[in-house]
Amino acid sequence: MSDEKTVLTAEEAAALLRVSSKTVLSLARSGALPGEKVGRAWRFLRKDVLAYVGGTLERGVRR
C-alpha cells in the first residue's frame, strides 16, 4: 500500500512522531493533526503524519 493510503493507529503515529499516543490524541482532538475517529479509536493517514512532521500540513483540518 502506498503512503498516500496507509492508515496508522494512534500508537503507530506516535512512534513515527516520537511522542506519546496521548500527545497524538491531543493533537487530533485540537485539529492540529488530521485524523478520523473509527468507533472509539483514532486513525491517521501516514501522509498527514509525515506532513505534520515536515511542517507542511495545513492546520485546522479535521475529518
pLDDT tens digits, 10-52: 999 999 999 999 999 999 999 999 999 999 999 999 999 999 9
Q: How far apart are CA 22 and CA 3, in angstroms?
A: 23
Contacts of residue 42, defined as CB under 8 A and 6 or more positions apart, other chains included, come to 9, 10, 24, 25, 28, 35, 36
What pLDDT was estimated at residue 32?
Answer: 94
Residue 16 falls within a domain, yes or no? yes
Q: Beta 7-9 vs 36-38: how paired, if at all?
A: unpaired
CATH of the domain at 29: 1.10.10
Q: Which domain holds residue 49?
A: 7-54
Regarding predicted confidence, which is higher, 55 or 2? 55
> What is the count of structural domains for the chain?
1
Residue 61 falls within a domain, yes or no? no
Contact 6, 50 (CB under 8 A): no
* Range among 2-6, 41-45, 52-56 with highest mean pLDDT value: 41-45
Contact 1, 47 (CB under 8 A): no
Residue 31 falls within a domain, yes or no? yes
Q: Is the pTM of this model over 0.85?
A: no
